[in-house]
A and B are shown apart, each in its own frame.
Chain A
Amino acid sequence: QVQLVESGGGVVQPGRSLRLSCAASGFSFSNYGIHWVRQAPGQGLEWVAAISYDGNNKYYADSVKGRFTISRDNSKNTLYLQMNSLRADDTAVYYCAKVRYTFGYGMDVWGQGTTVTVSS
């Protein structure tokens, strides 16, 4: 079935880096844009970044621009989020989510999330 599985979360000190992965299966990964969305403890959803189906176009929320990099490897059906200069307010559950058809049509498949905790 159509599935996204995130990994790579953990506890990291402020200022350090972490790379998240999102493994896709059950659909033609290279045909769809993908988002990263996060949710801080007890808070709402925050869009983080998105990448086009071919990896040529990348978009970021102001809160992570210059610190986070989204990328994908279509040969491996995998999405990545490189997170540098991590701060306490980056602590959240990070979800990857598939674009329903194209950007603007919502996110129709979500992973289960991976937890990132930034703490000294």
Chain B
Amino acid sequence: DIQMTQSPSTLSASVGDRVTITCRASQSIGNLLAWYQQKPGKAPKLLIYKASSLESGVPSRFSGSGSGTEFTLTVSSLQPDDFATYYCQQYDGYLFTFGPGTKVDIK
């Protein structure tokens, strides 16, 4: 099975900062990777699908890139609403795996 890792596990940042989260797969998954944002007590929200496609309604400050085994989620200018936990999720052969998450908190 494919394993997913994320780094960092926690990230302290300020409003206006550029933030990058990295997700790595234990083997190549092409571009079948999604990113989600989750706030405490709430369901996750899809941000990015197919590694770099922005979900409808998601602010353009969010972007995704990568393919194969290494992927990044970038927030170009962090806003107060962006403090949350972010998860990557891969799809391979009808098995789906989430990364362990990256918590973005206020510095």
Contacts and interface: CB of A to CB of B under 8 A. Distances in A.
Given A35-B96, A50-B96, A59-B94, A44 B46 contact: no
B16 interface: no
Nearest to B87: A45
Q: Give the interface size bracket for A toward B.
A: 20 to 34
A46 interface: yes
Given A62-B1, A106-B89, A108-B55, A47 B96 contact: yes
A35 to B, nearest CB: 7
B46 A106 contact: yes
Interface stretch (B66-74, B75-83, B97-105): B97-105
Majority SS at the chain B contact face: strand
Interface residues of B, number: 24
A47 B4 CA distance: 13
B94 A50 contact: yes
Contact of B49 (A35, A37, A46, A105): A105
Interface of B: 1, 32, 34, 36, 38, 43-46, 48-50, 55, 87, 89, 91, 94-101
25 contacts: A44-B98, A45-B38, A45-B87, A45-B89, A47-B95, A47-B97, A50-B94, A57-B94, A59-B94, A62-B1, A95-B43, A95-B44, A100-B49, A104-B32, A104-B50, A104-B91, A105-B34, A106-B36, A106-B49, A106-B50, A106-B89, A107-B36, A108-B46, A108-B55, A110-B44
Interface of A: 35, 37, 44-47, 50, 57, 59, 61-62, 95, 97, 100, 103-108, 110-113
